[in-house]
Chain A
Amino acid sequence: MSIYHVGKVCVKLAGRDAGKKCVVVEAVDERFVVVDGATRRKKVNVRHLEPLAQTLDIKEKASSAEVKAAFSKLGVAVKESKPRKTAERPKKQKKKAAKPVKEAKKKAPKAEKKSTAEEPAKKEAPVEKEPVKVEAAAQ
């Protein structure tokens, strides 16, 4: 049995939880264990842990609530992580605001298209007239 058995209190040495106390909850293999406590519940390399003399009486794969209760006996403060609430998306409101602008834009191009359709017809007429003028000048 390795030093890092279930219930062993350790200190984390690496990462953002470094210097915080944790307890081994599950031994994955020779190299990795799952820890919980003042740290986040994480699978960690045993090289990132320093064992302490204390051991806690917890079951394997104990829940974070059980770990917290065990740690409170030791007098170690454990932070409670609150589940995150997903913020409501204000997408629908944005769409409503954008709609009238889109409609206004749609109307505008239609009007332009009509005008463009008329313009070529107008242009064609003077083109026909021009050669007539040239002929008149030649005469």
Chain B
Amino acid sequence: MPKGREKSGRFRKVFVKTPGGDTKVHLRERKPSKAVCGTCKKPLLGVPRERPAILGKMPKTARRPERPYGGVLCSACTRKLLQQKARGESQ
């Protein structure tokens, strides 16, 4: 009888072959959705798709691009934003 939490769809099924030759179903946690840009909603590059527990173990430089708004905005949107700021400043 599966447990209640196993029926909620929170876990993904993984078929594992045991040493005895049987195939068993293991339940593993799903990966979170891809990180997307705050403005254009395109998936961000350089941001790993991992659970917070694993992200916490990774170095900060591996978690997001090393640029302002890295991990929040995509490179194109960052460029546009900085360009607008620079143009506003020079006027």
Give which listed residue, B66, B75, B82, B91, contacts A50 with CB less than 8 A.
B82
Give which listed residue, A11, A14, A15, contacts B86 with CB less than 8 A.
A11
A14 CA to B78 CA in the complex, in Å? 8
Given contacts A50-B86, A52-B89, A52-B90, contact A13 B66 (CB under 8 A): no
- Interface band, chain B: 10 to 19
Overall SS of chain B's interface: helix
Q: Which of B83, B90, B91: most chain A CB closer than 10 A?
A: B90
Contact between chains at A18 and B89 (CB < 8 Å) = no
A123 CA to B32 CA in the complex, in Å? 70
A54 CA to B68 CA in the complex, in Å? 23
A16 CA to B60 CA in the complex, in Å? 14
Give which listed residue, A14, A19, A52, contacts B75 with CB less than 8 A.
A14
Q: Say yes or no: is B79 at the interface (Cβ < 8 Å to chain A).
A: yes
A30 CA to B13 CA in the complex, in Å? 57
Contact between chains at A11 and B67 (CB < 8 Å) = no
Contact between chains at A19 and B90 (CB < 8 Å) = no
- Interface band, chain A: 10 to 19
Interface residues of A in 35-93 (CB under 8 A from B): 50-54
Chain B residues contacting A16 (CB-CB under 8 Å) are: 66-67
Chain A residues contacting B67 (CB-CB under 8 Å) are: 14-16, 18
Give which listed residue, A13, A51, A53, A54, contacts B79 with CB less than 8 A.
A13
Q: Say yes or no: is B87 at the interface (Cβ < 8 Å to chain A).
A: yes
Q: List 7 A-B contacts (CB under 8 A).
A: A11-B82, A16-B66, A18-B67, A18-B79, A18-B82, A50-B86, A50-B87
B residues sitting closer than 8 Å to A (CB atoms) are 66-68, 75, 78-79, 82-83, 85-87, 89-91
A residues sitting closer than 8 Å to B (CB atoms) are 11, 13-16, 18-19, 50-54
Give the 5 A-B CB pairs with smallest separation, nearest first: A11-B86, A53-B90, A50-B86, A16-B66, A52-B90
